[in-house]
Amino acid sequence: MDYSRFYTPPAIADLLIKQLNIKEPASVIDICCGSCNLLFAAKKRWDNINLFGVDIIKHCLPGVNFKVSDGRKYAIKNKYQYSLILANPPFDFVRKKREYEKLFFELKCNKFEYETSRLENEMLLANLMLLNDDGILLIIMPSTFIESEKNESMRKYLARHYYVHKIIKLPKETFGPAKIKAYALILRKTKNIKKSTSIFHVQYLDRKFYISKVSKLSHEIIRKGIWYQEGFNFFKNSNYDIKRGNISSQMFSNNGIPVLHTAKLQDNWVPSIRYIINKPQGYIYAEAGDIVISRIGKSAGQWCVHNGQKIIISDCLYRLKDPDNIIAKNIQGKKYDFLIKGVATQYITSNDFINWYQSLVN
């Protein structure tokens, strides 16, 4: 399935534009404008606004000042020029990593190293590059950006340099039968605003979309990279020692130091064994009695108790310390049956597994 070609429905676009608490801007831009539904929703709210659209495919849409270009290239040439930006970037892998190196310049200036192979993440950086001081960005991102541990460092960076005003969870019906899980973010380019972030959910009922405010997350929680309600509940109440491995499959070799890695879905699941040549610093390992959990792929949620010697684990696994064997006793004979996340590849977070465990205990 091509996840890069799902456009924002007009009804969702209208709902999101109404969540912008700003005065009428002079102009608005969308550098991956597609159907231009976000731009048209802005025009419905502010009749005198000038619309600017950028896309790699030429469009002829009424009232839109259009330019054919890759949005990343456009952003690099037009930095800090816009006070309102709208975006629903393609959810896809980049063809070439760091093809537009200048997108990462401001991150480097702030001593932040960021590696990504996702196009939507690069488009996020491009949109942020276009913002002027106190400017607003409304952007739709996949649920993995909001919920996954892999993007936690980027969420922390954004919380330090931007005000995360609203996080809006979109329903699975947003993009039709594809059932893509996504959020909308509203960010303001300003530092040191110690205000809470409002959390909204959009529901699809009787063929209509409805938005409602469900909670707030404090400035301190947002700065920790916890951007969704389930994650907040887990970190507030949990003392569990659970860590994700940090050895990627790109490091594997035919022989050497053994590493536990995920395996196919099966009864009595156990991890597979892979190898690396050199033992890296700061590696995560499992010891006898630890619970090992598959976090990604078809076996996501499968678990077992490690009965062997101390061994390194890959980034496809979690290691959960269980020194008194209490957790293992409570989940013995039970299979993970919580919702599996993911757009193209299914996965669970450490929060998901602990929340599942707590549901069994409670």
Give the pLDDT confidence of 123-177 residue by residue, as tens digits.
999 999 999 999 999 999 999 999 887 899 999 999 999 999 999 999 989 998 8
Q: For residue 155, give the 3-state DSSP assignment.
A: helix
Higher pLDDT, 239 or 79: 79
Give the pLDDT confidence of 285-321 residue by residue, as tens digits.
999 999 999 999 989 999 999 999 999 999 999 999 9
Do 230 and 167 touch, CB atoms closer than 8 A?
no
Do 261 and 240 touch, CB atoms closer than 8 A?
no
Domains and CATH numbers, the chain: 10-237 (3.40.50.150), 242-361 (3.90.220.20)
Residue 219 pLDDT > 50: yes
Please name every residue paired with 261 in a beta bridge, in sequence order, or none if there are none. Answer: 272
The reported pLDDT for the residue numbered 279 is 79
Q: At 5, is the pLDDT very low, low, confident or very high (cuts 50, 70, 90)?
A: low
Calculate mean pLDDT across residues 15-31: 95
Give the pLDDT confidence of 228-283 residue by residue, as tens digits.
876 555 554 456 789 999 888 888 999 999 999 999 988 889 999 999 998 777 78
The reported pLDDT for the residue numbered 1 is 47
Which has the closest alpha carbon to 348: 311, 304, 305, 299?
299
The reported pLDDT for the residue numbered 205 is 83
Calculate mean pLDDT across residues 86-107: 93
The reported pLDDT for the residue numbered 100 is 94
Does this model's pTM top 0.85? My answer is no
**Helix crossing, 350-361 with 229-237: angle to 10°?**
70
Residue 192 pLDDT > 80: no
The reported pLDDT for the residue numbered 351 is 84
Burial class of residue 242 in the structure, from the number of CB atoms within 10 Å of its CB (0-12 exposed, 13-18 middle, 19+ buried): buried
